[in-house]
Amino acid sequence: MDETLESGHSQVISAGIKKTGGFYSNSSVASEEDFTHLRQYVRGKFVEAGTEITNGKIDISPYKLKDKTPCAFCEYRSICQFDESMENNEYRQLSTESQSVILDKIREEAKRDE
Ligand code: SF4
């Protein structure tokens, strides 16, 4: 995605390459194998969501990660019927597991599917 990056921090992606080689520790990077697993996992989630929608599951079910929700910036807020004060209108609280724990789970799932 940043084809100009040779060393230093990218202006395009969340990654940087040291002059001595390798990535800076604050870079958001994944190995090619992990990236393949991530792509497969996300594709599976799209298929799962699409199947659920065509099967009639159309719940309004926004997530909450700590205190952040997608509703705060949503363009559809004025017409959306999600109202936390209504019964059965609850945010899906996402867990705040570390990146390594999540990647381990995705790797395990990929191994099960092989
Ligand atoms: S306002 Fe409604 S449509 Fe928008 S993110 Fe929240 S629940 Fe979803």
What is the residue with the minimal CA distance to atom 6 of ligand 1?
71
The proportion of the chain whose per-residue pLDDT surpasses 70, expressed as a percent, equals 100
Query: What is the distance in A from the centroid of ligand 1 to the CA of 80?
Result: 6
Give pLDDT, residue 1. Answer: 86
For ligand 1, the distance from its centroid to the CA atom of residue 12, given in whole angstroms, is 29
Say what the pLDDT of residue 113 is. 81
pLDDT digits (tens, 9 = 90+) for 72-113: 999 999 999 999 899 889 999 999 999 889 999 999 998 888
Q: What value does the mean pLDDT of the chain take?
A: 93
The rounded distance, in Å, linking the Cα atoms of 106 and 38 is 7
Residue 23, pLDDT above cutoff 90 = yes
| CA 77 – ligand 1 centroid, Å | 6
Spatial distance between the Cα atoms of 102 and 6, rounded to a whole number of angstroms: 29
d(CA 69, CA 73): 8
User: Could you tell me which of 32, 30, 47 has the C-alpha nearest to residue 113?
Assistant: 47
Which atom in ligand 1 lies closest to the alpha carbon of residue 80?
2
**Is residue 90 lining ligand 1, measured as CB closer than 6 Å?**
no
Mean pLDDT of 55-61: 93
Among 60, 73, 85, residue to substitute to test ligand 1 (most atoms within 8 Å of Cβ): 60
Q: Looking at the predicted structure, is the pLDDT value of residue 38 above 90?
A: yes
Distance 81 CA to ligand 1 centre (A): 8
Q: What is the pTM assigned to this prediction?
A: 0.76
pLDDT score at 104: 94
